[in-house]
Structure 1
Amino acid sequence: MTESVNFWKLKKVMESTTLSKSTIYAYIAEDRFPKPVSLGARSVAWVESEINEWKAQQVAMRDEAAA
């Protein structure tokens, strides 16, 4: 059985992370954020589970720094 993959467009990623478009693309360039998946010639989206994992990592890094 294959796992279902949900895609998020940029607007949803921005809402979920509270990051701006420019920050998202800067973080991608720095390998600090999940890369989008090409859906066509002019369309990209992000894998929902990768975004959620990134957010969880941010919380974990905060907690490690506080410890």
Structure 2
Amino acid sequence: MHYLPETGYLRLRQIIGDPHANPPIPPIIPVSKSTWWAGVRSGRYPKSIKTLGARITVWRVEDIRKLLQQS
């Protein structure tokens, strides 16, 4: 299991991973970017939050933790 802080926000690359980052970021939920966004649209995955800025999309850690517990 991955370490998740109690509260805060996660960017998409922290959730689905980024093998090209240095060092690589392992996925918490191993799906593609298009699968993730399709899941957000369908309600399978939590809604994103854009209150941090126009070009910053994040998800609440609590929502990701809840999603992992449901799996």
Structure 1 and Structure 2 fold alike (TM over 0.5): yes
Task: Kindly provide the amino acid, as one letter, of the partner of residue 13 in structure 1.
Answer: I
RMSD over equivalenced CA pairs, Å: 1.3
Normalized against structure 1, the TM-score is what?
A: 0.74
Which structure features the higher share of strand residues?
1
SS of the residue corresponding to residue 35 of structure 1 reads coil
Task: Kindly provide the amino acid, as one letter, of the partner of residue 35 in structure 1.
Answer: K
**Alignment partners' CA distance in 1, 2:53 and 2:7:** 17
Query: Which sections of structure 1, spanning at least 5 residues, go unmatched?
Result: 59-67
Q: How many residues are matched? A: 55
The match for 1:51 is 64
Runs of 4+ deviating beyond 4 Å: none
Normalized against structure 2, the TM-score is what?
A: 0.70
Task: Kindly provide the amino acid, as one letter, of the partner of residue 12 in structure 2.
Answer: L
**Alignment partners' CA distance in 2, 1:20 and 1:56:** 20
